[in-house]
């Protein structure tokens, strides 16, 4: 859009019109013309425009002045830098010597302009604004000018404080000038407030030396203050500085904390006199407590030595009310709403009493301790929970709401919340007996932290007091009490449940009222309590009173009330029918719900949230009542509109979730037969949709639908489903393949007559996937189950066909060695699955065939023969897991002979086969393995055989430990442990890393079998000074033991040795120790072992994460040299362990020191940067940690800017584009996590950085993808 010079001239003339409305509109139109145009104005026109707006700043009309302020800030940013500088200089000068009556307009305009200027104009602002504002602050005689200059200077520091001009200026004089404005008593309070805010903004950019000087000056001023008002302003200033500099003030807390605590104690001790100075005392105490709130959140470690005294002060001050004398009738007075206190209760009027400020500030300190000191929750709950409950009878309503809010914070910090039931149902295991009406296990209540027991103890007293507050005459008090009750029901539902009879009258009363907010809270309480019910009788007794009210809420005019009531009804159904045979009479109260749902399902003009809630409620209702005769009529009327919702593009996802909920019900819902063809066909048709997430959801629902109602599914529909899933049985998306194969398995189980179709359409695709080197995990398990089911239909798929297909190794001939071994191993598992599901005669023939194939393998086989021999060996081993092959003629001799083969692959396959087969024949083959290991000899050939037998033994031990339910495996192993340990100890010093890994894994697994014997052998190896390999091998054994979730008592004796190895002089030992520590920290059974050693571990991490030049060597590659960093693996392990420590012990690890690690890592190798980004994302996920690190957010700008720009340049130059795009996506995801934190805390430096890099189209596209998350359904 281009500008017309004639139009500009006309608008400039109109801006001087006598009519104020025309002046206003002309200014607005001119601003639109300039900002919407992509054309740059001539310099002389720019000057005319600026002069016209500056003139309007002095206009007689306030509206015109205000409009000019907004327009000038937006319009100047479109001008050239020269003109921007002139406008800044002009406005700055006008703030100092302009007309007094419009000085505030000039200041407001200048502040608006500073906020709109891009970061590239930072130097212009420093040159034209900073000197004049400092001159106005220090030299101008008028107080009004000082005040406006201080206000502008504050905004300038917030916007451009990071500029080097500011950082290189005489910061000490800036601080001194501002402090001088605090000293004169005649200055207005408004000036003092602006000066304090300005000092806070300045402190954020001060260097450490200047910050130290500022803090020393402020502390000296607090000590020397002659009046309470003077002391108050310096304390307030220290609190403001603390909130701006964050953790940097921590080093001064050893002086600040005792001083502030002394001031608080002096101001609040004894009876308050009636001399009129109480107000200043209270404000001084309030400011001190506000400062402590900041200290606790931002400097948790530094404030720790003062916590005991702070606890006592806070405990005293949350009940500090010198103007109220307790006459002993507190409860009765509370019941009357505090409306008739006499002189015995109050000695002063509420208008003159401001002690509530002290109580409110103390509550904020307590809330900060709950949020910022998660490792101290046990003490906090023990000391404060009951006193806080006693403060529910607080007489000042605003403070009472803060009491509720603080206790709510306590409740939220006591638990680790889990995800909603419906969203998690797809991952839940099938429930056994007692699992309720559903076949999936109910989610447990939110996980309670260990400290929560101290909060649970006071819950009866809390409910008793809360019930009184719910009967208060004050609407705000009732709202606050109900909001607290909602939080308690959400966090501690099973501890609130026994008290439902106490609070039910108030809940019912609230639901009858017209206050929609309170009604929503009451419905939320009902929903959360019902989701985690423990005693269904309580809910059944309440149902006749509650259900009609919930149905009434379904017809509310407010859509959120309707949605919440439908969710509450869906949750309330389960306690009314806790099991398939436990049908309460009160379930009939839910019969009218079908009519409500039918109207919601048919309606097209209702809110989307109501539609989704109605569908969710329908799923729960049918799951609980679909098999009851009384509900069949209403149910059948709802099924057609439900089917339409499945077809609807907007509601289909939620409707399919509801369908899955119906399918996992233990009730057999015969009415579903009417819609089975339509539902099955629709889900099958949806598989062609592009959205992977939606396709996954449809397949998951199909699995459950076929498992429950597959026998009633029409053959044509089943045929269509099988046809539609075949294209998705590939190795490109194994999770989708897994679901497709599960669908085929369900068809075979529920509709055996469809076996020919399954064999014809699905088996070829599955066999192709079996030959993929990518196949693993749950997809492999599903395919093995599928093959075993197909093998049972011999008439349609003969065994010999499956054997030949699974024995075809020609497809792996061109693959790499590792891929070949993986595919052959997969085919062997498939063969074993088919054999184990076949009749005994077929099994015997197959086993003899494999033995013959191995025996016929020549000494120097061709690649095809070697692959067939390897496959046969592994197939024998896999089959031996399920059947005892020790009695099979020639089995042992054949396997042992192949251990001496000239082919490495055949020898390894034989060792693995022997180990696998031993699992199924522990009584016989285990002795064979150990005897041969002892008899192998000490020569080169004997050592190789011994290593292979150790590999066999490793597989036996590993599988034996994994199958914990089968103690016979461990019992068979235990007598042989003394014979095995010497062999393992002998090979612990092997020069081959693969051998040492076998030893480590075997030792770690044996710890689970015979702890005492293994510890006696392992302890000397950990302190061995003869070889670093022995130490590395033995410390790695701890890793394997922890990976098996061994008991804490297993690793505890090795803890000191492990920590000592963190400081070993050998790189490999430190790396192995870090690796073991990483696994142990993440193991649920071993996490607590290292809780007290986090400081030591973190110090080692900081050392090992540093790049060391002596570990970097150059390798000569002929025409060029290549640098190899031997320290890189250690650094990667160090950062990985830091991530694990943060996950295991967040309250002890989360600190600004992690930001230092991240900054260091972002300058390191890209592999380290990946871990650092994950570390930063995890750190930002902990709310209590944000207060500790928010001051360091700005430090992230430079390294992220460097990393992002490097990748952008690589993409533009088309160099390593794939790698560069992967790193860009990583940076985008990390910045996506950090950006909201920076925006919330108005961190302008980071926000400007994001605005700048978002102008690059490559990064903007990547960032948008990171923000959108997964595909929309």
| pLDDT value, residue 434 | 42
Give the residues across from 415 on adjacent strands. 448
| pLDDT value, residue 1188 | 75
Distances (CA, A) of 236 to 188, 195, 218, 713, 787: 16, 11, 10, 74, 74
Please give the mean pLDDT across all residues of the chain.
Answer: 85
The CA angle 170-173-179, to the nearest 5 degrees, is 145
Give yes or no for a contact between 247 and 1187, defined as CB atoms under 8 angstroms apart.
no
Which residues contact residue 788 at a Cβ distance below 8 angstroms, ignoring those fewer than 6 apart? Answer: 833, 834, 836, 837
Work out whether the CA dihedral 808, 809, 815, 818 comes out positive or negative: positive
Q: Could you tell me which residue, 327 or 73, shows the higher pLDDT? A: 73
Give yes or no for a contact between 1169 and 1220, defined as CB atoms under 8 angstroms apart.
no
Q: Please determine, for residue 419, whether its predicted confidence score (pLDDT) is greater than 70.
A: no
1081-1133 pLDDT tens trace: 988 888 888 888 888 999 999 999 998 888 888 887 777 777 888 889 999 99
- Per the document, the length of the chain is 1273
Map residue 438 onto helix, strand or coil: strand
Map residue 1123 onto helix, strand or coil: strand
Lowest mean pLDDT among 346-350, 461-465, 929-933, 1221-1225: 346-350
Q: Please determine, for residue 1017, whether its predicted confidence score (pLDDT) is greater than 70.
A: yes
CA gap 1144, 1151 in Å, rounded: 14
Distances (CA, A) of 531 to 134, 431, 567: 62, 16, 10
Give yes or no for a contact between 68 and 59, defined as CB atoms under 8 angstroms apart.
yes
Q: How confident is the model at residue 275 (pLDDT cuts 50, 70, 90)?
A: very low
Map residue 362 onto helix, strand or coil: helix
Residue (of 724, 623, 648) closest to 680 by Cα position: 724
Give yes or no for a contact between 551 and 590, defined as CB atoms under 8 angstroms apart.
no
| pLDDT value, residue 341 | 41
What are residue 963's phi and psi, to 5 degrees? -85, 75
Distances (CA, A) of 1152 to 223, 300, 869, 1063, 1191: 30, 11, 59, 24, 9
| pLDDT value, residue 1194 | 78
| pLDDT value, residue 542 | 93
Q: How do 447-448 and 1112-1116 pair as beta strands? A: unpaired
Q: How far is CA 814 from the centre of its chain?
A: 43
1125-1171 pLDDT tens trace: 888 999 999 999 999 999 888 888 888 888 889 999 999 999 999 99
Q: At what angle do helices 307-317 and 377-390 cross, to 10 degrees?
A: 10
H/E stretch holding 1113:
strand 1112-1116
| pLDDT value, residue 338 | 42
Map residue 1144 onto helix, strand or coil: helix
Q: How far is CA 935 from the centre of its chain?
A: 54
Q: How confident is the model at residue 933 (pLDDT cuts 50, 70, 90)?
A: confident
| pLDDT value, residue 280 | 67
1226-1241 pLDDT tens trace: 999 999 888 888 766 6
Q: Please determine, for residue 360, whether its predicted confidence score (pLDDT) is greater than 90.
A: yes
Q: Please determine, for residue 830, whether its predicted confidence score (pLDDT) is greater than 70.
A: yes
% of the chain residues with pLDDT over 90: 35
Work out whether the CA dihedral 911, 912, 918, 920 comes out positive or negative: negative
Q: How many helices (H) and strands (E) does the chain have?
A: 68, 4
Q: How confident is the model at residue 430 (pLDDT cuts 50, 70, 90)?
A: very low
CA gap 1158, 1102 in Å, rounded: 11
| pLDDT value, residue 311 | 93
Map residue 1118 onto helix, strand or coil: coil
Beta-carbon count within 10 A of 305 CB: 12
Give yes or no for a contact between 1124 and 1105, defined as CB atoms under 8 angstroms apart.
no
CA gap 485, 1030 in Å, rounded: 59
Q: Please determine, for residue 1011, whether its predicted confidence score (pLDDT) is greater than 50.
A: yes
Q: Please determine, for residue 1270, whether its predicted confidence score (pLDDT) is greater than 50.
A: no
| pLDDT value, residue 271 | 47
Beta-carbon count within 10 A of 1230 CB: 25
CA gap 731, 523 in Å, rounded: 47
Beta-carbon count within 10 A of 433 CB: 5
CA gap 217, 234 in Å, rounded: 10
Q: Could you tell me which residue, 168 or 313, shows the higher pLDDT? A: 313
Residue (of 687, 690, 689) closest to 737 by Cα position: 687
DSSP assignment letter at 1125: E
């Amino acid at each position: 859009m281009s500008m017309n010079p004639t139009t500009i001239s006309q608008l400039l003339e109109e801006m001087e019109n006598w009519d104020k409305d025309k002046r206003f509109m002309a200014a607005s139109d001119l601003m639109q013309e300039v900002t919407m145009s992509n054309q740059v104005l001539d310099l002389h026109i720019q000057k005319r425009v600026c002069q016209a707006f500056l003139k309007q700043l002095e206009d007689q009309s306030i509206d015109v002045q205000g409009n000019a302020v907004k327009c000038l800030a937006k319009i100047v940013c479109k001008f050239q830098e020269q003109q921007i500088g002139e406008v800044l200089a002009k406005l700055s000068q006008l703030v100092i010597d302009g007309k007094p009556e419009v000085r505030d307009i000039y200041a407001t305009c200048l502040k608006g302009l500073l906020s709109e200027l891009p970061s590239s104009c930072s130097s212009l602002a420093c040159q034209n604004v900073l000197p004049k504002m400092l001159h106005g602050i220090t030299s101008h005689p008028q107080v009004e000018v000082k005040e406006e200059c201080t206000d502008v200077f504050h905004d300038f520091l917030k916007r451009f404080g990071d500029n080097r001009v500011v950082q290189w200026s005489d910061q000490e004089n800036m601080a001194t000038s501002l402090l001088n404005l605090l000293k004169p008593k005649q200055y207005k309070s408004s000036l003092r407030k602006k000066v304090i805010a300005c000092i806070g903004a300045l402190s954020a950019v001060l260097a450490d030396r200047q910050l130290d000087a500022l803090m020393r000056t402020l502390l000296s001023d607090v000590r020397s203050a002659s009046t309470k008002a003077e002391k108050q302003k310096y304390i307030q200033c220290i609190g403001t500085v603390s909130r701006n500099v964050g953790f940097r003030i921590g080093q001064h807390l050893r002086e600040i904390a005792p001083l502030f605590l002394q001031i608080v104690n002096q101001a609040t001790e004894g009876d308050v006199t009636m001399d009129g100075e109480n107000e200043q005392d209270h404000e001084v105490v309030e400011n001190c407590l506000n400062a402590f709130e900041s200290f606790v959140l931002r400097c948790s470690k530094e404030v720790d030595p003062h916590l005991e005294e702070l606890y006592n002060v806070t405990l005293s001050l949350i009940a500090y009310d010198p103007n109220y004398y307790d006459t002993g009738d507190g409860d009765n007075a509370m019941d009357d709403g505090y409306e008739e206190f006499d002189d015995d209760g109050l000695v002063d009027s509420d208008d003159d009493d401001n002690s509530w400020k002290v109580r409110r500030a103390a509550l904020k300190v307590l809330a900060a301790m709950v949020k910022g000191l998660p490792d101290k929750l046990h003490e906090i709950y023990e000391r404060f929970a009951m006193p806080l409950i006693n403060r529910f009878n607080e007489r000042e309503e605003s403070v009472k709401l803060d009491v509720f809010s603080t206790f709510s914070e306590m409740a939220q910090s006591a638990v680790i919340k889990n995800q909603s039931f419906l969203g998690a149902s797809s991952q839940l295991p099938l429930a056994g007996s007692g699992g309720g009406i559903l076949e999936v296990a109910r989610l447990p209540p939110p996980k309670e932290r260990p400290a929560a027991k101290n909060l649970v103890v006071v819950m009866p007293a809390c409910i008793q007091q809360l019930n009184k507050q719910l009967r208060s005459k004050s609407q705000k008090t009732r709202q606050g009490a109900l909001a607290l009750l909602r939080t308690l029901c959400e966090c501690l539902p099973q501890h609130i449940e026994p008290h439902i009879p106490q609070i039910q009258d108030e809940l019912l009363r609230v639901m009858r009222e017209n206050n929609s907010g309170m009604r929503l809270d009451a419905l939320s309480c009902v929903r959360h309590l019902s989701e985690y019910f423990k005693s269904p009788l309580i809910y059944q007794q309440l149902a006749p009173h509650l259900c009609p009210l919930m149905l009434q809420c379904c017809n509310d005019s407010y859509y959120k009330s309707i949605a919440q009531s439908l969710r509450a009804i869906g949750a309330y159904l389960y306690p009314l029918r806790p099991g398939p045979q436990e049908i309460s009479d009160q379930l009939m109260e839910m019969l009218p719900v079908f009519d409500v749902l039918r109207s919601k399902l048919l309606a097209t003009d209702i809110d989307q949230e109501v539609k989704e809630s109605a569908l969710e409620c329908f799923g729960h209702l049918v799951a609980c009542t679909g098999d009851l005769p009384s509900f069949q009529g209403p149910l059948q009327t709802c099924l057609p509109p439900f089917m339409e919702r499945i077809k609807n593009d907007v509601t289909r996802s939620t409707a399919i979730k509801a369908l899955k909920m119906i399918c996992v019900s233990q009730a057999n819902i015969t009415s579903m037969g009417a819609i089975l063809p339509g539902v099955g066909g629709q889900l099958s048709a949806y598989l062609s949709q592009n959205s992977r997430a939606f396709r996954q959801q449809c397949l998951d629902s199909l699995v459950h639908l076929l498992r429950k109602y597959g026998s009633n599914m029409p053959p044509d529909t089943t045929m269509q489903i099988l046809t539609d899933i075949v294209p998705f049985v590939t190795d490109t998306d194994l999770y989708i393949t897994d679901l497709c194969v599960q669908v085929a398995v369900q068809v075979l189980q529920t509709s055996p007559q469809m076996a020919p179709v399954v064999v014809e359409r699905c088996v070829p695709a599955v066999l192709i996937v079996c030959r993929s080197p990518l196949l693993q995990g749950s997809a492999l398990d599903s395919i093995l189950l599928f093959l075993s089911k197909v093998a049972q239909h011999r008439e349609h798929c003969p065994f010999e066909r499956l054997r030949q297909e699974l024995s075809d190794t020609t497809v792996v001939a061109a693959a790499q060695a590792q891929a070949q071994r993986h595919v052959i191993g997969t085919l062997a598992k498939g063969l074993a699955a088919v054999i184990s599901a076949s009749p005994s005669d077929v099994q015997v023939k197959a086993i003899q065939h494999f033995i013959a194939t191995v025996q016929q393998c020549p000494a120097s086989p061709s690649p095809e023969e070697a692959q067939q021999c390897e496959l046969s060996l592994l197939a024998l081993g896999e089959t031996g897991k399920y059947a005892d092959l020790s009695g099979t003629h020639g089995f042992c001799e054949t396997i042992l002979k192949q251990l001496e083969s000239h082919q490495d692959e055949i020898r390894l396959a034989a060792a693995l086969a022997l180990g696998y087969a031993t699992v199924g024949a522990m009584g016989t083959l285990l002795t064979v393995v150990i005897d041969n290991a002892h008899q192998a000899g000490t020569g080169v050939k004997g050592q190789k055989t011994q290593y292979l037998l150790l590999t066999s033994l490793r597989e036996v031990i590993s599988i034996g430990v994994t199958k914990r339910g089968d103690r016979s495996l461990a019992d068979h192993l235990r007598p042989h442990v003394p014979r095995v340990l010497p062999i393992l100890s002998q090979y612990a010093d092997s020069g081959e890393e693969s051998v040492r890994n076998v030893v480590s894994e075997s030792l770690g697994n044996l710890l689970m079998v015979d702890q005492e014997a293994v510890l006696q052998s392992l302890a000397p190896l950990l302190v061995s000074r003869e070889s670093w390999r022995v130490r590395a091998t033995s410390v790695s054994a701890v890793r394997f033991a922890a990976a098996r979730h061994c008991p804490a008592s297993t690793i505890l004796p090795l803890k000191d040795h492990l920590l000592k190895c963190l400081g070993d002089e050998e790189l490999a030992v430190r790396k192995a120790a870090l690796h073991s520590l990483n696994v142990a920290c993440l193991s649920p059974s071993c996490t607590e072992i290292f809780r007290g050693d986090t400081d030591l571990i973190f110090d080692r991490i900081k050392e090992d994460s540093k790049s060391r030049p002596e570990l970097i060597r150059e390798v000569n590659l002929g025409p060029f040299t290549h640098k190899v960093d031997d320290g890189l693996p250690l650094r990667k392990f160090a950062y990985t362990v830091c991530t694990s420590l943060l996950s295991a012990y967040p309250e002890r690890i989360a600190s600004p020191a992690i930001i230092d690690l991240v900054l260091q890592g972002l300058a390191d190798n890209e592999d380290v940067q990946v871990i650092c980004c994950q570390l930063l994302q995890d750190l930002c996920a902990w709310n209590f940690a944000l207060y500790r690190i928010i001051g360091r957010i700005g430090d992230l700008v430079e390294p992220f800017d460097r990393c992002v720009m490097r990748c952008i340049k690589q993409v533009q130059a088309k160099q390593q584009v794939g790698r560069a795009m992967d790193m860009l996506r990583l940076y985008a995801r990390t910045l996506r996590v950090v950006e909201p934190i920076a925006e919330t805390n108005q961190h302008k430096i980071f926000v400007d950085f994001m605005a700048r890099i978002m102008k690059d189209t490559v990064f903007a596209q990547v960032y948008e993808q990171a923000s959108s998350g997964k595909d929309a359904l």
